[in-house]
Each structure stands twice: as structure tokens, then as C-alpha cells.
Amino acid sequence: MGKDIYDSFSSVRNVFHEVDDAISFNLSKLIFEGTEEDLKKTENTQPALMTVSMAFVEVMRKEYGFDLSEKAKYFAGHSLGEYTALCAAGALSLRDTARILRTRGRAMSEACPTGGAMAAILGLSIDQVEEIVKESCSEISKVQIANDNSVGQIVVSGREEAVKKATEIAQSRGAKRAVILPVSGPFHSELMRPAIKILEEVLSDVEFRSPSKPIIANITAQAETENFKELLLKQITGRVRWVESIRYAEAQGVSQCIEVGAGKVLTGLVKRISPSMRLVNINSLESLDLLKDL
């Protein structure tokens, strides 16, 4: 992730090295040379993905004269990506963002030691999955919608037995697929509540500035310019309303989305939510040439 631009630009190397220093850990080496097992630990994954994304944001601005803070109407990110959005919009410093995500990852991985699960349900509507969630819950076995990712792709999260029951019901209701995901915890569920206190402590001494452009927040699916601490704390146990977020942007006149950073997962989601949206991926040295047409 990001090795081609790391080798090509000193501005990118500065981003990686600043993150390493902020978290007192050689994350750069892990990203480029580490094992897949170590990189998949959420305490590493979260700051790593942010670092790569911010490296592209920086090289776009410094080397290509494409400043997202001037070009974009809104910023948005999916789950941990919301922190990157805040950083890219200038509401958070790079050092604070790295430090928060390192702590957030650890807190989330330790929040549910008794176990939990997440599952993707494909081919059913949000209303159908809401009904399934209700049927899968009991006093000791709860599940909730964690991510409304795209039309026909919804993720549920909670106690393992409840999540398994939800997949069984979904399959009986005609879901194309209902599969348990290989994740380390029941993220965006009430089982993550212990992580809120830890995140609250690290956020207590963080200064949030006014963003250059509004952030479409996961928890509200609306443009926000303040109260980010509260929104981020609610996000830990709340739903990522990605479908509503993209539809909100579209309703405000947005016709193009630029996904910045490793991969193109969000582009695939947006394509299904809003087929008319123009989509651009900036995720490699070669892809930076696309900026000249934007």
C-alpha cells in the first residue's frame, strides 16, 4: 500500500515518518514489509489505512496542485475512514489522527473478550434486514445493523449466536448470500460500548478545528461542521449509514466522488447506490495522472 508513491516523493515519506513518530512505532516498515497477520490487527490496520490515504492527499496537493480542501464540496469516510476525512479536511492533525486510530483499534479489539461476530447479508432490503434483526434478538443474544453499505449489501453485528441466527433467517428469506465475516470483533454494535470510554479519554485532549468543508458523518448521514467528538463516540456502537450518506451528497448536487487511498471498495459501493455518479480512484502512482482531467 502506497509503496510506489513512498519511493517517488519526499512529501509522502514525511507523512509516513510523522505517523511513525506520533505512535512511537515503525508502522511504515509494517506496511511495506510486515506479515499479513500483523497488518490485519485492527490496531495496525486503522492507522495504516489512514496513513496511506493521507499520503495520497498530500502528494495530490503538493506535487499535483490538486487540493481537496478547495476542490471538494464534502468529505466523507466509512467507519475509520471518517477520521481520515476529518484529517484531510483539516479538522484533525495527522499526528492526532494516527494516535487516535492506534488507540481506537486497540480499544475495539479488546472491547468484547467473550466474542462476537459480523455477517454480510446480500440481496435483501434494509427493511427486510431490520425485521430479521428483530427476530434474531433475545435478552442475552443481540444483533444489530452495523453497516448499510450499499443497495442489497448490509452488515449485521453482535453476539455470535444471534448473528448466525440472522444469517439463517436471511437465507430462508431469499438472500443471495449471508456469510460470517473474518473480522476480529463485533464492530459498530453495542458490544463495543467498553471502547467508548477509552476513546473518550484520548479525544479529551484533542483539538478539533473547523473543517475546510463539511463532513458527511456516518452516524447522521448529514453534513457536519462541529461536535465531532460526540459523533465519533456515537459511531463506535452506531450504524455506518453509507447509503444515506451518498444519497444525501447526491441530493446536494454532488455528481462525482473521488476515492483516495488503498483499494476501491467504496467506489464499488457508491456505484451500486448511485449509478449516475462519476467515480475516480486515486490509489497508485499511475492513477495520479487522472487528476489532470478533474
Compute the distance between CA of residue 199 and CA of residue 215 in angstroms, rounded to an integer.
20
β-bridge mates for residue 257, sequence order: 279
Contact between 209 and 88 under an 8 Å Cβ cutoff? The reply is no
Distance of CA 42 to the CA centre of its chain: 12
Catalytic residue check, 79: yes
CA nearest neighbour of 42 among 76, 15, 79, 5: 79
Options 188, 189, 245, 274, the catalytic residue: 188
Compute the distance between CA of residue 284 and CA of residue 282 in angstroms, rounded to an integer.
6
Catalytic residue check, 78: no
Options 79, 141, 184, 287, the catalytic residue: 79
- E strand spans, the chain: 117-122, 143-150, 153-158, 177-180, 215-216, 223-224, 256-260, 278-282
CA nearest neighbour of 85 among 205, 208, 201: 208
Counted residue by residue, the chain has a size of 294
Q: What is the 8-class DSSP label of residue 189?
A: S
Active site residues: 79, 188
